[in-house]
Amino acid sequence: MTNCVCLMSRNEISREGLAHFLRSEHFDVAVSAACHEEIPASLAGTVFLAVVDEPSAAEQPGMVETILASFADAKVVILAERFDLEAMVACFRAGAQGYIVNALRSQPLMTALRLVSLGEKVMPSDLAESLGHRQFAGPSPITAETEIMNANISPRERDVLCCLMAGYPNKSIARQLDVCEATIKVHVKSILRKLKVSNRTQAAIWASHNGLSDVDVAVAAGAAAGQELAFAAMI
């Protein structure tokens, strides 16, 4: 368990108020800043809670990716102004440990942060209500294939897209598919262009919404693993 917290919020009043409350609950607020650039580089390799008060749902997943790119051991928690299912899913795909709606009362918020500090993932209670109103029929395999074909995604790009859904970084995808990392970067760039999205998280969301499932991800990973085993047998 870690009680070290780096708190980020562009709203100074909100940030300082939350910092004061965290300290009163025996959290060590090491950083209280407007943005992640103010987190000292000396914290790299250190386990800490990165609590990000970010009201924009569109920016939340990118914030998670940016923080983890510099501080891989951080446990990122997004404090959202309101519940947004797509943003929450994107945040967890990007590596977040918690997604908490700001309307939560003080003590439940502290409990949620302590759970994250213990290694648990925390989701808002709004999720239960949202799932209760959603249809789970999902697109048919034919629909998924049609969307992939319409986007002009090649079979290899589809494998890479499935790996993006699984949250793999380029280096892991390259290892899984037995190609160089530069090739994966080319594939990712091509996928983003064809899907008309700006980052890999949005590409993963597109794939999920258009019929690619966990089964597709597992098949891609399994095929890649088979390639690795075959290569290993040769040497």
Distance (Å, rounded) from C-alpha 211 to C-alpha 207? 6
> For residue 19, what are its two tokens?
């910092």
Percent of the chain with pLDDT over 90: 30
The pLDDT score that the predictor gives to residue 143 is 60
Q: Which helix (H) or strand (E) holds 193?
A: helix 181-195
Contact 35, 66 (CB under 8 A): no
The whole model's pTM is what?
A: 0.56
pLDDT at 209 over 90: no
Token pair belonging to 221: 């990973």
pLDDT digits (tens, 9 = 90+) for 11-49: 888 888 889 988 998 899 999 988 888 999 999 889 999
Comparison of pLDDT for 172 and 78, the residue scoring more: 78
Helices 155-165 and 200-209 meet at what angle, rounded to 10? Answer: 100
The H-or-E segment that residue 91 falls in is helix 85-94
For each of the domains in the chain, give its residue range(s) and CATH number, in order of start. 4-132 (3.40.50.2300), 141-234 (1.10.10.10)
> What tens digit of pLDDT does each residue of 108-136 get?
888 889 999 888 889 888 776 666 655 55
What mean pLDDT comes out for the span 168-178? 87
Residue 181 has pLDDT above 50, yes or no: yes
